Structure 1
Amino acid sequence: MTKKTIFMIILSFLLSCFLTFSNFKETKDIPKEVYRVYLNGNSIGLIKSKSQLEKYIDNEQDRIKEQYDVNKVYVPKNLNIQKEITYNESISSISDIYEKIKDTEPFTINGYKITISAVDKDQDDKIINVLNKKIFEDSVQNTVKAFIEEENYEKFANNTQEEIKDVGTIIENIYIENNITIKEDRIAVNDKIYLSVDELSQYLLFGENTNKSFYTVKPGDNLLEIAFNNKMAVEELLVANTNLKSANALLYPGQQITVGMLSTAFNIVEEIHVEEYQDIEFKTEIEYDTSVYMGYSTVKQAGSNGLNKITKKIQKINGNINSAIITENIEITPAVNRIVVKGSTSNIKLGDTGYWAWPTDPSYIISDYYDWRDGRFHSAIDICCTGYGSPIYAANNGTVIIAETSPSKSTFGKYIVIDHNNGYYTLYSHLVGLNVKIGSVVTIGQRIGSMGNTGYVIPAPTKDDPTAGTHLHFEIRRGLTYETSSSLNPLDFY
C-alpha cells in the first residue's frame, strides 16, 4: 500500500469523524421555545406549555370551586410565566411544577377588589374583596338605611319628598364622603372574601370589632337600659339592630340584640333642611330687696315662653350631627322673663338649685347629648348654632375657680368652671373669649364668655372655614370638690 493510499485513508477517517461530531453538535444546539416559571421572583423550572399548567391548576381545584361557587381557578398572583429560548436545559413536568406551587402560594379566582379611602390621614384605607359587585352595592344600601330611616331614604332616592308648606324636614343630599374604587381583579383564596350581603353589611357597620356580641333580653328590659349598660347610645343600638325602629320598640324575653361599638367603614353624609317652631324659654331675673329678710323669695312677674320659627341646615355623618346652622330665625311671640324678688342679704355666691339659666342665647341646637358616644361616655351636652362669639352665660350664682386654656390642645381649649358653693359645679369649654377670671363672683345669667371652637372640636377649623366646630361643651357636676365631682345630665335641670 502506497503512502498516498495510506494518507487518503487517514484523511477520510478524520473527515468522517469531523462530520459525525458536527452533526451531533448541531442536534444538541437546536433552540427550543419553552416557558420559565417564576414564583416570588425565583425560577422553579421550565415547562413546554403555559396553557397546560394553567389548565392543570384549574382541574385540580374542585374544593375551591365548590367553596366559592366559581367555574375557574387561576394561578397565584406571585406566579410569573415567561417565554424564552433554550438549547439544552431540562424540562420539568407540569405535575412537578404544580407540587412546588400548591403549598407555597394561594391560587386565585376572579372577583372585585374594593378600596375605601380613609378620610382622616391617620387612618388606613379599607380593602374589601367580593366575587359579585351586587353584594357590595346591596350591603352599602343596608348600611345607609341603618343610619337613615328607610322610608325617608326611599323618598329621597325616588325624588318623592313632599314640599315643606309650613314646618317639616326634607333631605337635601345623601352621599358617601370616602372615595370608593371598584376594580376587577384576581383574588387570592386565602384573602378574606365576602360571600353574602349579611356578612358584608355587618363588617361595614362594625369593622373587625371583636367586642361585638349578642344580648339576650330579660323580662323588664328596655332599649335605653340595654344601650347604656353596653356603653352605647340608644341611636347606636338602633343602627346595629335595624329591625328595631325606635327607642320604644317592644321587646320580648329571649330576643337577641346585637351590642358592641360601631366602626363604620365609610362616612355616610346626610344633609337635611328643617323648618320648625321652637319654644324660647323665658329667663329668670333676680331682684334683691333690702327691706325683707334673708331667705325671702317671691315671684314678682310670672314668666312665659316665646315662640320662634327657625330654619336649620344640619349635616349628619353616620347619624351624628357634624355641623348645623340656623339660616333664619323669625320671632312669633316674644318670651316674658320671670322676675323673682329675694332678700338683699341673700348670699349671691350661693347657687339656687331651683333656678338654672340656659347657658346660651335662644334658638340653639343640641348637637350631642349626655350619653355614650363611640364607646366613650360624653359627660356633657354640646350646644351649637347661636354663632361664633355669641354670649355664654353663667347657669347659676357662684365663684369662678377655673378660667384658662387647657394645657392640652386635645381637650377643652379655653374654659371656665364655676363653683356654685352648694356642691354643684358647671363647666363651659371651647370658648373663644373669657369675660371673667379666677375668683370672680358671678350671678345667674351673667355673661362669662363667648362661644368658640378652641381645643378639640369636630369638624376642626380650617383656613377656609375658621369657625368650623363652634359649640359649647356644657357640664353640670356634683361633689365635695370639683376634682372629685361626678357629672350629671344637664337636661335634668331644665
Structure 2
Amino acid sequence: MFLKSKNEEQKVSKPGVLSNGKSNIVKKAAISVLLISSISFNMAFAKESESNTLKEIYHIYTDGQYVGTISDQTKIQSMLDKKVEKSSSQYKNMTLTAGSNLSVVSEQVFTPNTNDETTLQKLEGLIEVEAKAFALSVNDEMAVYVKDIDAYHEAIRKLKLHFVSQDELNILEARNNTSNSLPELKENETRIANLILKEKVSGVTVQTAPTKIVSPDDAVKLLLEGTLEKEVYAVAQGDVLGTIASKHNLTSDELIALNPGITDSSVLQIGQELNVTVLKPLINIEVQYEKKVKETIVHTKKVEETESMYKGDTKVKQEGSDGQKVATYLIRKENGVQVGQSVVEETIIVEPKDHIVLKGTKVIPSRGSGAFAWPAEGGYISSKMGYRWGRQHEGIDIARPSGFTIKAADNGIVVAAGWDGTYGQRVIIDHQNGYKTTYAHLSSISAKVGQVVPTGTKIGVMGSTGRSTGTHLHFEVEKNGVTINPLTVLNK
C-alpha cells in the first residue's frame, strides 16, 4: 500500500488521473492568496483557523482505477489485515500480503464527503491476497511457482532424480566439488558422466496468488509433462489401440508407455479408461554415460574372382577369424530414451582375418577337343573291347586304380546320370563334336544331367554295380552314333 500526500501525487500520478483534484487545490490556493492580500489578518490567527476547518480524506485506487474515498486510512489497514488473516488458515506456512495493487492519495478539504462502508466493501472485492513465492523460469519464461528457493532447489533435484538414481546424482555432485581426475574405466564398467538441463533454468522471488504455488513434486510433473491435468479416454465399442492413439495425436508406442500394464496384444474393455495425455515437456534432460566393453570384431567375407578356375567353382583361399577390441562409448539419453552413442576410445587387441573365397570365372568348355584323357586314377585294362563270353564287349574295363575317382575324359555335357540295368550306376557325356562317352558300374555319381564338365572333372566313384565281376570301370566311346574302340582315341 502506498500512501502519498496530495502534493506528492502530482509528481508520480499518470496525467489526468487526479486532474480535477489538482485544479481544485490550485483554485483554493489562489483564493487564499487573494484573501490574505486584500484583508488584514493576524497570520498566526489565520493558520490556526485553517487547521481547525480543513479535514483530511483519502482517495483509494486499485491498479490505477479509482475506487472511492474514505475518512480514516486505518480502516484500510484493518481490512487488509483481516483479509490476510482469513487466508492464513488456508495457506499455512506461506508469507501472505495484500494490497500490492492499492494506492492511497490524501487530500485536505473543508467539507469532507466520504462513504467509508461502501468504499471498503468495494475495495475488499478488488484486493487480492498474495504470497511470497519463487518463480521457476525456463528460457526466461515463467513456468511454475514454488514456495521458496529451497522448494526450487528441491524441484530441480527431484527433476534430475526422475532420470538418474540417488547414487548417480551423489557421484555427479561430488565430482563437481573436486578437481581430481576420474579413475580409468574398468572393462565392462558403466558410469554416469554428465547430466545436462538442455534449457536455461532460473528463478526469482516474486509475489503471486497462493493458488498458483505448487509443491516440488507437482512442479516436476508440470516441467516433464507440460500439464498437471491428465486427459482420460473411455474405451468405446470398436476401439483398438491404434485408432485411440491416432485420435489423440499419439503413436501406439506412446499410448502404451502412458498406460503401464497395457501391451500391443492387450484386449481392451468397453469403458476402460486410458491415459491419453499428450506430453509436452518444458525441460529436456540429457544424461551421459561412459561404458567400456570388450567386443568382437566380426571378420569380413570377401570373394576374389580368378580365371584359373572354372565358372561355378569356388575354393577357400583363407579361413576367416574374428578379432577383438576394447572400446569406450559415450551414451546419450534424452528424457530416458537413448538418442546417441559415439566411440570415445578404441584399442584393437586382435586384428580380424578376412575370409577369402576364390570364385572361378573361366568359361567351362562344353565342346570336346577330340583328345581323350584317361578316365581313372591309374589302373590297367583288365578287358579290351571285343567278343567275349558269347557276346560283344562294347568297351574296355579299367581295374586296380591307385584311386577310385572317375573323371570326364573330355569336355562335354552330361546327358545321362543314374541307374541303367546291367550298367548299374552310369554317366553318359556328350562331347558336342560327334563323340559320346559312357562310364558304368559306378558306386556313386557326382555329376548331374545338364552339367557342363571340362576334362578331368570328377563325375563319380569306381564301383561294381549292375552286372559286374568286381570293382572296375566299364568305359565306352561312341562316334556319330557308332561304338568305337576307346583305345583308338585314349591318351594313356
Shorter-chain TM-score: what band? 0.3 to 0.5
Q: Which of these two proteins has the greater Rg computed from alpha carbons? A: 2
